[in-house]
Amino acid sequence: MSKIIDGKKIAQELKEKIADEVSSLSRKPGLAVVLVGDDPASQIYVNSKEEACQEVGFYSQKVVMPVKTTQEELIRQIERLNQDKKIDGILVQMPLPSHLDEKTTILAIDPKKDVDCFHPINLGELVLQKKSLPMNQLLASCTPKGIMRLIHSTQVELVGKKVVVIGRSHLVGKPVALLLLAENATVKICHSKTVNLADECESADILVAAVGVPRLITAEMVKPGAVVIDVGINRVGDRLVGDVDYKEVSKVAGFITPVPGGVGPMTIASLLENTLILAKRRR
């Protein structure tokens, strides 16, 4: 049976370290989260981020805007936060209502306050990174950064290992591949057009599944002893399940993340860490 990678425990340990560091600062780091509309899942995410800020002693602003907000109104709100000296990090909760443009919105955020690192300047910095940085200095998208911490927790050596990332989004797949490359892993990105996906997965020492397809990865697709990171969060009936068939794959893998309780808590903890890094850079 696999060893479970406990994202809740690792995230809590990181939050305790952040809180200790914040207690010694002369000014609290500040995080602003902008929510447009009334999507229930987004409301839950935003509330959990606000609670996490309180837990570590951050200053936080929750900006809630109506679903009919125009692009111009959203940009004005972001520009206000760009100028707010109390705010070190800005996050606009995705997805946005369909009439708003994600790219235009991200471009409006000051790259020095882009806490989720989606701005082209910050993504470009990640592309140009030639070697890995310590996690407490690394600015990278929150979910990929959290994934890296989960992999590090296994103490499996990354140098030379074959990693298969399933999913090519700019939110997870591409950034996590870049972070893995910076640690000298050999990385292959697979997606919906990949031929013989099962064979590619079975060859991986480390497998990262981030496609949003319930239980796509079966035990037959996993190399015995592999590290399996499940990024998927899919609602099936009244349950949340991942992209990995956890029950069966856990009998084969060496390490595996559960859903929920794996990648999710690490995403929020990484958001807090990124805010702290931005706050220290601004000083």
Residues annotated as catalytic (active site), given as ranges: 49, 93, 116
d(C-alpha 59, C-alpha 63), whole Å: 13
Within 10 angstroms of residue 33's Cβ, the number of other Cβ atoms is 24
Contact assessment for residue 268 and residue 52, using Cβ atoms and an 8 Å cutoff = yes
CA of 122: how far to CAs of 82, 141, 145, 216, 237, in Å?
16, 9, 14, 31, 38
Q: At residue 27, what is the residue type?
A: R
Residue whose structure tokens are 């990640």: 126
Give the number of other CB atoms < 10 A from CB of residue 283.
10
Rounded Cα–Cα distance for residues 82 and 154 (Å): 38
**Contact (Cβ atoms closer than 8 angstroms) between residue 102 and residue 94:** yes
CB 81 within 8 A of CB 30: no
Instruction: Confirm if 160 and 177 have CB atoms less than 8 A apart.
Output: no
Burial class (CB in 10 A: 0-12, 13-18, 19+), 179: buried
Q: Report helix angle 173-182 to 120-128, nearest 10.
A: 30
